Amino acid sequence: MATARRLDEVVPGVLVATAARYTTTSTVVTGFGAGGCLLVDPALTTDELAGLAAALADRGLRAVAAFTTHPHWDHLLWHPALGEEVPRWATARAAGSMRRKNTELRAEAGEHATGPSWPGAFAALPDDATHLPWEGPPARVVRHEGHAPGHAALVVAGALVAGDMLSDLEIPLLDLDAVDPVEDYATGLDRLAEVLRGPDVRVLVPGHGHPAGREEALDRLAADRRYLEALAAGRSIGPEQDPRLADPWLHGEHERQAAAVLVR
């Protein structure tokens, strides 16, 4: 039996586990009858996935539904101990992308795709579905194309489960395969700003990094807008303007984005 992982309750009924690599979060939303829960972006190593299953079992929880925020390998993993028959949802666009790019995603996942954690098919959420079809606390789906095709955040139980947006550690990472990645990202931020201005959110859970209250979430959003504006204007930007760029990996991603935006 795997060692149960730590789960932090960020608002009542919303628990977050944080994986070692990329500070990747997985979110658990309780409240479907006795012990049923929704699992968002389970991650990351096989041991961590088994540990997540053990943590749920320890609390008398079992996954009855799952959601993947976007079609990147570190957000679509699974483990049999989490349940064999759990419906796993993604937006129709994200599900289509995962199907088409399965081989590529599997190569990117490397050792994490071996064994039991590589996923089977996802259930495509109809484009007109405003909420996840589960009977726990209402989970509103906020779609945009900011970071990956068919990206969606969930607004559920007072939390904004944002996927790969609004991170304290990562700069905005654009979908450079899109026709207008900067515009897509800006639109994504606008959608999230609207959610954060509304009454439904007390806490933000980013896909990588640390959960934050609403004020800090708005600060992150402003920082992301500043980064995006500098990128679009071709202005040089470094760790003095955006401390997240002190990370060598993100600095490299930034250079790649800056070059890609320039040639458009």
The tokens 């996923």 sit on which residue? 119
13 vs 156: CA distance, rounded Å: 10
Question: What is the Cα–Cα distance from 177 to 149, expressed in whole angstroms?
Answer: 9
Minimum gap (Å) between residue 252 Cβ and Zn ion: 16
Question: Which of 32/118 has CB closer to Zn ion?
Answer: 118
- How far is the first Cα of the chain from the last one, in angstroms, to the nearest whole number? 52
Closest CB 9 distance from Zn ion, rounded Å: 25
Letters for 103-142 (x = contact with Zn ion by CB under 5 A, - = none) are: ----------------------------------------
Indicate the residue among 5 and 75 with the shorter CB distance to Zn ion. Answer: 75
- Whichever of 164 and 184 has its CB closer to Zn ion, that residue is 164
Question: CA-CA distance, 160 to 154, in Å (whole number)?
Answer: 6
Of 54-62, 122-130, 136-144, 156-164, the segment contacting Zn ion by CB under 5 A is 156-164
Nearer to Zn ion, 110 or 234 (CB): 110
Which of the residues 40 through 79 are near Zn ion (CB under 5 A)? 72
Q: Is the dihedral of CA 113, 118, 121, 122 positive or negative?
A: negative
Least Cβ distance, residue 240 to Zn ion (angstroms): 26
Q: Quick check: 144 binds Zn ion (CB under 5 A)?
A: no
214-233 vs 248-262: helix crossing angle, rounded to 10 = 50
- Least distance between Zn ion and beta carbon 126 (Å): 23
Considering beta carbons, is residue 17 or 105 the nearer one to Zn ion?
A: 105
| Contact yes or no for 206/18 (Cβ under 8 A) | no
Window contacting Zn ion (CB under 5 A); options: 18-26, 59-67, 160-168, 235-243:
160-168
Q: Quick one: 30 or 257, whose CB is closer to Zn ion? A: 257
The answer to whether the CB of 237 falls within 8 A of the CB of 254 is yes
Nearer to Zn ion, 163 or 211 (CB): 163
| The one among 41, 48, 145, 164 contacting Zn ion by CB under 5 A | 164
For the bound state, the minimum distance from the C-beta of residue 106 to Zn ion, rounded and expressed in Å, comes to: 16
Cα 86 from Cα 64, distance rounded (Å): 6
Q: Which of 186, 128, 159 has the alpha carbon at shortest distance from 40?
A: 159
Task: Report which residue type is found at 208.
Answer: H
Residue of 158, 164, 136, 176 whose CA lies nearest to 263: 176
- The answer to whether 158 and 27 have CB atoms below 8 angstroms apart is no
Angle at 172 between CA 218 and CA 99, to 5 degrees: 120
Shortest distance in whole angstroms from residue 236 CB to Zn ion: 25
Q: How many residues bind Zn ion (CB under 5 A)?
A: 2
Least separation in angstroms between residue 13's CB and Zn ion is: 25
Residue sitting closest to Zn ion (CB)? 72
Binding-site ranges for Zn ion (CB under 5 A):
72, 164
